[in-house]
Amino acid sequence: MAIDINLSRRSVLAGSTLALAGLAAASASATDTPSHAHQKTTGKPWKTAMDIPSARWSPAKLADMEAQLYPMATTSMMVVRNGEIVYKYGNLSDVNYLASARKSVLSMLFGKYVAEGKIDLDMSIGEIGIEEDDGLLPIEKTAKVKDLLTSSSGVYHAAGSPGGNDNTPGRGKTEPGSVFLYNNWDFNVLGAIFEKRTGKSVFQALQEDLAEPLGFDDFDFSRQRMMGYENQSRYLAYHLFLSARDMARLGQLMLQGGKWEGKVIVPETWIAESIKVRFTPEQTKSKEGLGYGYLWWIPTSSTPAFRNANLEASRNLPCRQARSRRFQ
C-alpha cells in the first residue's frame, strides 16, 4: 500500500506544501461577482497505489526522503505515478499560501486566452495601458507580454511584493527581452494584464478554468486575495492558497498535455511553448542548472536529476517521470 506519514505528532509551518505529479509544486479582485465569494469545489478522490515496489518506487528511499522533509517543517507532500498516490506526507488537505508557485499556475491560465486571441504576447505594456503613479520610462513601455512571461522586461520599478533581486540594475538601461532577472514587478503586472485582456480576475479564472474542471478538493475562492505594498506599485501579487492534493491535479494535468477526462483545459501547444527553454542556465545564473520558460523553471542537461528533490519541487518544475529514478 502507499506510504502514509501522519504529522499530528508535531506542529508544522504552513506554506511548505510540495506535490510531485508532473508539476512539483504547485485579496479578491473588485471585478469578481459576489456569487464567487464562498464557493468551494469537490473532486473525485485520488486513487492510492496498493503496492509500492510493483509501482517501481523504493520504500527505503522514500523513507530517506522523508527524513529530509521532517526538519524542513514541510506541511504536506504527495508523489503520484500514473494517476495514483504512491507516497503521502502530512495532511494533504491543508491549504497553504503559495508564493513563487503562483507564477506557473498563471502560465497555465494564460494558455486558453492566448489561443483565443484575447492575449497577444507581442503587445507592449504601453499598448495595454500599464502605468505606475510615478511613471514608466519610454523604453520600459516597449516591453512585451512575452518579455514579462520570461522575467526579462527590463522594467526595474519597485514591485508591490517582496522577493525581488538584490542585483537589480538602474532603470532604463536594459533592452526589454534581452536580460533575465527574476522580477516580481513582471509577475505582478502579468496578473493585471490577464485581467485587462480577459475581463476575469486571476482568482475567478483559477476557479472556472482549473479548480472546477479538475475537481479540486479544497479550493475556496474566498481565501484567494491580492497582497503587497500599495505605496510601491499599483500592481500587487495574486497569491494563491491551495492544498497539496489540488496542486497535484495541476501536475497531472501538465503530464497529460493539458487534457482532463477528454477535455482540453490547457492547450497542448501552450504547454510546449511554456516549458521551452528561453533563457539558459548560464543566463538565469541558476545554481541548479535551470533554464526559464514562460513562468516555469526548466530542467536542462546540466540539471542534476533530483539531486535535491525538495529544492526542485519548491522551484515549480515540471518533474518528468524520467527524473524520478532516485526514489525508484
Cβ neighbours around 304 below 10 Å, total: 13
CA distance 308 to 295: 21
CA distance 212 to 205: 10
Q: Which pairs from 292-298 meet CB under 8 Å and 24+ separation? A: 292/150, 292/151, 292/180, 293/150, 294/107, 294/110, 294/146, 294/149, 294/150, 295/103, 295/104, 295/106, 295/107, 295/149, 295/151, 295/187, 295/190, 296/104, 296/107
C-alpha cell at 247: 496542486
Q: What is the pLDDT along the chain (328 residues), one digit of tens a residue?
A: 555 544 332 222 233 333 444 333 333 333 343 344 434 455 678 888 877 777 778 888 888 988 988 888 888 998 888 888 988 999 999 999 888 899 999 999 999 999 999 999 999 999 999 999 999 999 999 999 999 999 999 999 988 877 666 778 899 999 999 999 999 999 999 999 999 999 999 999 999 999 999 999 999 999 998 888 788 899 999 999 999 999 999 999 999 999 999 999 999 999 999 999 999 999 999 998 999 999 999 998 877 654 433 333 334 434 333 233 333 3
Measure the CA dihedral 274/275/277/278, to 10°: 10
For the sheet with 237-243, list strands across it.
95-98, 237-243, 225-227
Q: Where are the domains of the chain?
A: 3-114+193-327
CATH fold for the domain made of 3-114+193-327? Beta-lactamase (3.40.710)
What is the model's pLDDT at position 305?
55
C-alpha cell at 143: 516591453
Q: Is 43 exposed, middle or buried (0-12, 13-18, 19+ CB in 10 A)?
A: middle
Residue 307's contacts (CB-CB under 8 Å, 6 or more residues apart) are 288
C-alpha cell at 263: 477535455
**Backbone φ, ψ for residue 80 (5° rounding):** -120, 135
CA distance 73 to 93: 16
CA distance 105 to 119: 16
What is the CB-side half-sphere exposure of residue 40 using CA atoms within 13 A? Answer: 11
Residue written as cell 513562468?
295
What is the model's pLDDT at position 298?
94
C-alpha cell at 207: 476557479
Helices assigned H by DSSP within the chain: 59-69, 101-115, 125-128, 145-149, 184-198, 202-205, 212-214, 244-255, 268-274, 281-284, 309-314
Q: Is the pTM of this model over 0.75?
A: yes
Nearest CA to 226 among 215, 237, 240, 218? 237
